[in-house]
């Protein structure tokens, strides 16, 4: 009988200790305030019911997201246990010790980075790039692409007018030259009694807008961040003749074909311009696409989706967006945060994530034969993710970005100097930043 009591007491102690190990935590996830964040709130309810942890969310509008969250990380703040941070933060996150390294955790829990789209692993998780050191799990794949008014393109009178003006059929642009031609055609045209404009492109000055837009074009014109054989050697790569041509193209597109007053446009302004029927073409991140499908003005088949057009030599690249999810090193609830990441990496959760509007980066989801037909934009998303490039992800990325914002806005919007001068100046600025960082 005594042994029965002993066993019962031991079992009780074990149960108690297990319960203590799996103590319910109040986890805070920090991200930008946008549609996918709302979908994640819904998705996370499943995690709450399974784990017993409570999820709270701190969402900050995009224009203040980097400021707010980088200040939080730099000050060693404990607000966020989980951070879905921008891809460019990964260098600072790793080197300044803001994120915990996840490589061993992934190995121990059977999470393989080869299960994710390679570009997202490189873009969101690795630091240094190209090494198996992972600081985040790809959470939201995103890329800059284009939407166009399919319904306008299909109108016989518009098709005829375009053919008369250009001598060719009105088709979705496959090259940047065609894109400009289409944008010029629509600029100032009357459609349904309203004046419409060619294209909405990124021109925002304050955060990262114009850099994302210009880079999205420059890559396909031959721009490279540095010499592939000699890191940080930028002369002749950043300011190559192709890059100069690309920057001139962007300015020409801004001058000829954007709506009046579009001198400070980013994601939100692009969405507004497109949904309100102001523009025929719109540059924006893929995350905006689900919203267009359900919009009464531009949804229901009125919108077409385009991979970034090709440059003059046929090269075609696109600017990477999106984020990975990391565990903040200052968090006191790291075990629970890791549980969340383990749960989020599951294929069935990722599948659900995609169906709710989250752009999964898990290959089993995006390579599923049914994926391409699952949404009108799914194939475009897949094709775009195959050609992505990203901005510097160095710890000094903010300084590199600020210099870029200034050079591009000065030239494209303010019309100061030439494209060559802007890119030469950029080489000078970036060199100075890398010298300060001790990398040159």
CB of 21 or CB of 260, closer to other proteins: 260
- For residue 350 the two structure tokens come to 């990722």
Chain center to CA of 186: 28
CB of 107 or CB of 416, closer to other proteins: 416
Which DSSP string do the residues of 361-404 spell out, in sequence order?
-BHHHHTSTTTTTTSTTHHHHHHHHTTEE----STTHHHHHHHH
Does residue 205 touch other proteins according to CB under 8 A? yes
CB of 208 or CB of 383, closer to other proteins: 208
Least Å from the CB of residue 398 to other proteins: 5
Adjacent-strand bridge partners of 28: 56
CB of 264 or CB of 355, closer to other proteins: 264
Does residue 389 touch other proteins according to CB under 8 A? no
DSSP 128: S
Does residue 261 touch other proteins according to CB under 8 A? yes
DSSP 288: G
* Angle value at C-alpha 142, between 76 and 319, nearest 5 degrees: 95
What does the per-residue mask of binding to other proteins show for 81-110, with x meaning CB under 8 A?
-----------x---x--------------
CB of 264 or CB of 379, closer to other proteins: 264
- For residue 437 the two structure tokens come to 């960082």
What does the per-residue mask of binding to other proteins show for 409-428, with x meaning CB under 8 A?
xxx-xxxx------------
Least Å from the CB of residue 412 to other proteins: 8
Q: Are 304 and 147 in contact (CB under 8 A)?
A: yes
Does residue 379 touch other proteins according to CB under 8 A? no
Least Å from the CB of residue 278 to other proteins: 8
- E strand segments, 196-333: 197-200, 279-285, 303-306, 318-319, 323-327
Chain center to CA of 56: 23
What does the per-residue mask of binding to other proteins show for 272-291, with x meaning CB under 8 A?
------x-------------
Does residue 436 touch other proteins according to CB under 8 A? yes
Residues 48-67 that bind other proteins (CB under 8 A): 66-67
Least Å from the CB of residue 97 to other proteins: 8
Least Å from the CB of residue 74 to other proteins: 4
Does residue 74 touch other proteins according to CB under 8 A? yes
331 SS3 class: coil
Does residue 431 touch other proteins according to CB under 8 A? no
Does residue 9 touch other proteins according to CB under 8 A? no
3-state secondary structure 82-127: EEEEEHHHHHHHHHCCCECCCHHHHHHCCCCHHHECHHHHHHHHEC
Residue 226's contacts (CB-CB under 8 Å, 6 or more residues apart) are 232, 233, 234, 237, 238
Total of residues contacting other proteins (CB under 8 A): 31
CB of 357 or CB of 395, closer to other proteins: 395
CB of 70 or CB of 306, closer to other proteins: 70
Distance CA(298)–CA(155), nearest Å, equals 15
- Phi and psi angles of residue 134, each rounded to the nearest 5 degrees, phi first: -110, 135
Single residue of 228, 260, 296, 369 touching other proteins by CB under 8 A: 260
Q: Are 282 and 147 in contact (CB under 8 A)?
A: yes
Does residue 263 touch other proteins according to CB under 8 A? yes
- Residues at the site binding other proteins, with contacts judged by CB under 8 A: 66-67, 70-71, 74, 92, 96, 195, 204-206, 259-264, 278, 396, 398-399, 402, 406, 409-411, 413-416, 436
């Amino acid at each position: 009988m005594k042994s029965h009591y002993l066993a019962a007491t031991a079992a009780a102690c074990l149960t108690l200790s297990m319960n203590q190990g799996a103590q319910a935590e109040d986890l805070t996830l920090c991200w930008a305030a946008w549609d996918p964040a709302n979908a994640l709130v819904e998705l996370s309810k499943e995690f709450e019911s399974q784990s017993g942890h409570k999820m709270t969310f701190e969402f900050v509008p995009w224009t203040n997201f980097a400021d707010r969250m980088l200040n939080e990380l730099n000050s060693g703040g404990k607000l966020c246990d989980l951070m879905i941070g921008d891809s460019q933060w990964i260098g600072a996150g790793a080197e300044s010790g803001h994120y915990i390294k996840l490589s061993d955790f992934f190995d121990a829990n059977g999470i393989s980075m080869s299960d994710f789209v390679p570009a997202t692993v490189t873009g969101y998780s690795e630091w240094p790039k190209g090494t198996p050191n992972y600081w985040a799990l790809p959470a939201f794949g995103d890329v800059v692409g284009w939407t166009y008014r399919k319904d306008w393109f299909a109108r016989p009178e518009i098709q005829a007018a375009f053919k008369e003006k250009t001598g060719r059929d009105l088709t979705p642009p496959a090259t940047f030259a065609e894109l400009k031609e289409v944008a010029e055609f629509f600029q100032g045209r009357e459609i349904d009694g309203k004046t419409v404009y060619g294209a909405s492109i990124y021109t925002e000055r304050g955060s990262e807008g114009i850099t994302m837009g210009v880079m999205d074009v420059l890559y396909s014109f031959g721009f490279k961040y540095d010499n592939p054989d000699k890191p940080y050697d930028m002369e002749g790569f950043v300011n190559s003749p192709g890059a100069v041509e690309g920057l001139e193209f962007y300015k020409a597109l801004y001058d000829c074909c954007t709506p009046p007053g579009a001198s400070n446009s980013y994601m939100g302004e692009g969405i507004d311009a497109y949904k309100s029927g102001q523009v025929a073409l719109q540059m924006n991140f893929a995350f905006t696409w689900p919203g267009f499908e359900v919009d009464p003005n531009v949804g229901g088949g009125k919108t077409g989706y385009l991979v970034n057009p090709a440059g003059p030599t046929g090269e075609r690249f696109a600017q990477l967006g999106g984020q990975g999810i990391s565990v903040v090193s200052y968090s006191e609830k790291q075990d629970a945060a890791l549980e969340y990441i383990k749960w989020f990496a599951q294929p069935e959760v990722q599948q659900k994530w995609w169906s709710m509007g989250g752009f999964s980066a898990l290959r089993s989801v995006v390579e599923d034969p049914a994926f391409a037909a699952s949404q009108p934009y799914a194939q475009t998303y897949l094709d775009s993710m195959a050609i992505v490039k990203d901005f510097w992800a160095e710890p000094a990325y903010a300084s590199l970005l600020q210099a870029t914002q200034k050079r591009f806005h000065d030239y494209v919007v303010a019309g100061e100097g030439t494209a060559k001068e802007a890119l030469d100046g950029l080489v000078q600025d970036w060199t100075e930043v890398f010298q300060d960082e001790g990398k040159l």
